[in-house]
Amino acid sequence: MRDRKINSTRFLSKVSACAVAGVFLLASLPAFAQPHVIEVLADKDSRYKISGQKAGQVVVKTGETIVLRIDARKGKSWNRDGTIHGFTLLHMKSRAKVAGWDLELKPGVQEFTLTAPEPGEYEVVCTVICSDDHEGMRMKLLVLP
Amino acid sequence: MKTTIDRETITTAALLVLMLVLLASYSYSKDGVVTLRGAIEDSQCAFNVHSEGHSHDWMIKKGVVGARDAKSCTLHCVRDMGGKYVLVVKDEVYRFDNEGVAEDFAGLKVKIGATMTDAKTQTVHIITIEKE
């Protein structure tokens, strides 16, 4: 009877240890990692805003999955197809576009799933003339190794 | 007599239809290349509702640095601000799937030989391009 109790306790300990190890293992695998959700307000005053941040800057890790949840609000001007802002990623120095990061925003909330590019400094720019201050609609994106 | 008149009518109608088809396909070659005449602009200025006549006037009037005329405005919007080269033909705007070819013609009036690659988004592939 006592042996049985010891065996069941050992068994339970092993199961618990395996479960804990499994959870850590799964969490460490990229496929099971939670995507980095970034909420951006593409505002009517031609500014990208991120809650809790004064200066519009985003820091991500290279290769990580990013879910961009963007709430776009119409400025004084827009495109004839209904696009009200753009969200295009450029290399800071060369101004070359980053493939897959050329988004057209319609009014309201929209989500985009993207992969963070190579490490470096980038700039997000608006590609729609959205107001008198359209040229100032920029945001820094820093990609860490 | 009546049958003869009918045949003549049918023949005349068929010839008219044939002429119309030939006329309609005048600008198309056998491999679907269409000739377009317009100006190479940037997508920001071309698509904007307040850019009257798809011009760069708004940007130039605003005194945006780097936008002094059609050419400099187009280059600024594409090279510095993430825009794309497009072709403006009166009220129509065509996108390119090989826009790099258009860079040397920024702000200029051009004649383009192109094939339609996506009619929904009015995207064409430039085969030939020359200054008008």
Provide CB contacts within 8 A for B100, sequence distance 6+: none
C-alpha–C-alpha distance, residues B57 and B73, integer Å: 9
Query: Would you state the pLDDT for residue A43?
Result: 95
More confident position, A144 or A35:
A144
Q: Give CA angle at A22 (A16, A27), nearest 5°.
A: 135
Contact status, residue A66 vs residue A113, Cβ threshold 8 Å: yes
Query: Would you state the pLDDT for residue A1?
Result: 56
Q: What is the pLDDT of residues B119-129, one digit of tens each?
A: 999 999 999 99
Nearest residue in chain A measured CA to CA from B47? A79
- DSSP letter string over A86-120? EEEEEETTT-PEEEEEEEEE-SEEEEEEEE--SSE
C-alpha–C-alpha distance, residues B103 and B111, integer Å: 14
Question: What's the gap in Å between the CA of A14 and the closest CA on chain B?
Answer: 57
Q: Between chain A and chain B, how many beta carbons pairs sit less than 8 Å apart?
A: 42
C-alpha–C-alpha distance, residues A117 and B23, integer Å: 51
Contact status, residue A115 vs residue A65, Cβ threshold 8 Å: yes
Q: What is the pLDDT of residues B45-96, one digit of tens each?
A: 999 887 655 568 878 887 888 888 999 999 999 999 999 999 999 889 999 9
Contact status, residue B106 vs residue B74, Cβ threshold 8 Å: yes
More confident position, A20 or B85:
B85
**Interface list for B 34-63 with A (CB within 8 A):** 43-45, 47-51, 58-59, 62
Query: Would you state the pLDDT for residue A9?
Result: 64
